[in-house]
């Protein structure tokens, strides 16, 4: 009798422990998703770092990709690969659209210049008389949309390239505020 009671007690006790253990695991895994998971709840570290102006999030990057495919891909390539033979200029001396991925020189420029070229076109920064094929988008895209397209482009760069371009932008900002 006493033996049976002891067996029963042991089983109960173990079940109870298992439940406590399961609940504890549930709490740990649950809080991981709530506080650290980048995809749920839009806490995307990458998107935050890419943000030039502080209001770009993962949804904006998705929209930026759409705008990119509609407005930029025809010249710069749907995979950001640039025009074929982009390193050699055309017969009329104008340039071909360079890639926007890490192989191009988009990331050599600070945010201010990337925004300026997209808004006002290649002619806005080129020397007088230079025939640019990069159109101005000030009539097609709002400033916010330009920032979204640029955020999408940046989201395709490896972390190290993003950091280097950020340093270039920070230097540029510092030199302007002097
Ligand atoms: C009709 C073709 C064409 C379209 C469309 C186009 N570009 Fe360009 N883009 C060019 C060419 C060509 C250049 C090279 C510079 C020049 O000729 O002025 C260039 C250069 C650039 C540069 C400078 C890159 C560098 O490394 O110096 C940026 C930034 C840029 N484009 C962004 C965009 C964005 C963003 C879009 C879409 C919103 C876009 N372009 C759409 C043709 C185009």
Per-residue confidence in pLDDT tens, the chain, 178 aa: 566 777 776 677 667 788 888 998 888 887 776 666 544 444 444 444 444 444 577 889 999 999 999 999 999 999 999 999 999 999 999 999 999 999 999 999 999 999 999 999 999 888 888 899 999 999 999 999 999 999 999 999 999 999 999 999 999 999 998 7
pLDDT at res. 42 = 44
Residue 41: the pLDDT is 45
Tell me if 83 sits within 8 A of 77, measured CB to CB: yes
DSSP classification of residue 144: H
Q: What CA–CA distance (Å, rounded) separates 176 from 178?
A: 6
| Residue with CA nearest ligand 1 atom 11 | 97
81: CA distance to ligand 1 center in Å?
A: 12
Topology of domain 42-176, CATH: Cytochrome Bc1 Complex; Chain D, domain 2 (1.10.760)
Output the ligand 1 site: residues, CB below 6 A.
Answer: 71-72, 74-76, 94-98, 104-106, 114, 117-118, 122, 126, 132-135, 137, 149
* CB-count exposure of residue 120 (10 Å: 0-12, 13-18, 19+): middle
Domain boundaries in the chain? Answer: 2-36, 42-176
């Amino acid at each position: 009798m006493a033996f049976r009671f002891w067996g029963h007690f042991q089983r109960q006790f173990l079940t109870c422990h298992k439940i406590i253990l399961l609940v504890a695991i549930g709490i740990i895994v649950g809080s991981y998703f709530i506080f650290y998971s980048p995809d749920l709840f839009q806490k995307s570290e990458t998107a935050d770092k890419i943000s030039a102006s502080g209001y770009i999030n993962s949804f904006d990057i998705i929209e930026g990709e759409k705008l990119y495919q509609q407005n930029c891909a025809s010249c710069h390539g749907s995979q950001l690969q640039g025009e074929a033979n982009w390193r050699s200029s055309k017969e009329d001396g104008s340039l071909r659209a360079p890639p926007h991925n890490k192989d191009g020189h988009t990331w050599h420029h600070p945010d201010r210049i990337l925004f300026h070229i997209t808004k006002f076109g290649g002619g806005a920064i080129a020397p007088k008389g230079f025939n640019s094929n990069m159109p101005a988008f000030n009539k097609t895209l709002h400033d916010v949309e330009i920032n979204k397209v640029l955020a999408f482009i940046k989201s395709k760069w490896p972390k190290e390239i993003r950091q280097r371009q950020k340093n270039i932008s920070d230097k540029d900002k510092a030199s302007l505020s002097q």
